[in-house]
Amino acid sequence: MVFLSCVMTWQAKEISLLPDRQYVFAGEPLKINFPALVERSLRIQVCNEEPAQGLKPEMFLPAGGAGPVKVRLSLLGVIPVKDITVSVLPQVKVIPGGQSIGVLLHSQGVIVMGRSDILNQTGRFVNPAADAGIKEGDIILKINGEAVRAEDQVRELVAQAGAEGRELALEVKRGEKTFQVRVKPVFCKETLRYRMGLLIRDSTAGIGTLTFYDPEKMIYGALGHVITDLKTNQPVDLSGGKVTGASVQSIHRGKRGQPGEKIGMFTGDTDISGTIAKNTKMGIFGRLQKPLENQIFQEPIPVAPAVQVREGEAEILTVLNGEKVERFTIEIVKVNLQARQNGKGLVIKITDPRLLEQTGGIIQGMSGSPIIQDNRLVGAVTHVFVNDPTRGYGVPAEWMLQEADMLPEASEGQRLAS
């Protein structure tokens, strides 16, 4: 009796941890994947206006039309454990990505991350940029009429003006306002070069992977996780940012304790160009400015509801060389729908021999690589386990669709699909 009680308590806990709301797409069975031990003793009742109808988990209910269905889960049909609402939504189809993308924090300029005083020739600390009114968070768009995009470019312009004893004319953006200031570089005794007194960062956030795009609405999703500021660890405001094409030039292979990475370069807007509207825990989202091609999936495929993602074999799409998207086998080790808060709903393992040989497993730049199972988009690669690069996390594709406002009951916020 004690053993039976413990088992039932464990089963009840597993069920109670399920999200209160589930989604399924019209025309598909409302199947929820439970652990085998839970499923054997589970009973499901549909509790809408009709008398409660008992169903087996593997049969559940055909989803013919859109609308919410209230469902009660119980053990042995006697002990009620949880009520959930299953929303039946129109089928959503997207084209999987896999292409490498470059992410720009803002479409132009360099951002001021802070100020750093200069020790001048007389032994005093000065800051000509601060004296001119430049503040942290400002974006320097142009110097002497020349558009700037990189730290090295700014450093060269400062050095040249300093050597010639000239002032720099800076065009600066703060919020929605743009203004002009003049700054004369000062020679720094500590660094032995001319400086303005600023800490700057160029617009490059790095290379990631496109997860999906809707060829009709031109909405895309990528990365599968939020982009945060390294200094504050807060989400970066990417409202002025953009995505562009990228090419993988080489691979730094990962190993235990040392994650690898894709080394790439931005290829510009020739193939991929898009705006960034949202930066969320489930990835970045926006609109593409022109259609894309995917040689592996030329037509849209269905998106799987999170509750129907199963443990077992799957594949990912990603780039290892140049711009060629390839497919590689993986295993979905665990589906954890209780982890929505951090976006880590899937645990995955790389099983493809060639991918393991070339990368050692999951590497930086692979974030956003779409996960395909049963010819449906089920998720995206997001994180690597530092102590085991063959394993990592993924985010269910359904969660990304919600953030992209591509589901009728998407979370509140800026609408992309309107």
Catalytic residue numbers read 225, 352, 367
* Cβ within 8 Å of residue 290, ≥6 positions away: 273
Q: Tokens representing 8?
A: 């039932």
CA angle 396, 397, 401 (to 5 degrees): 125
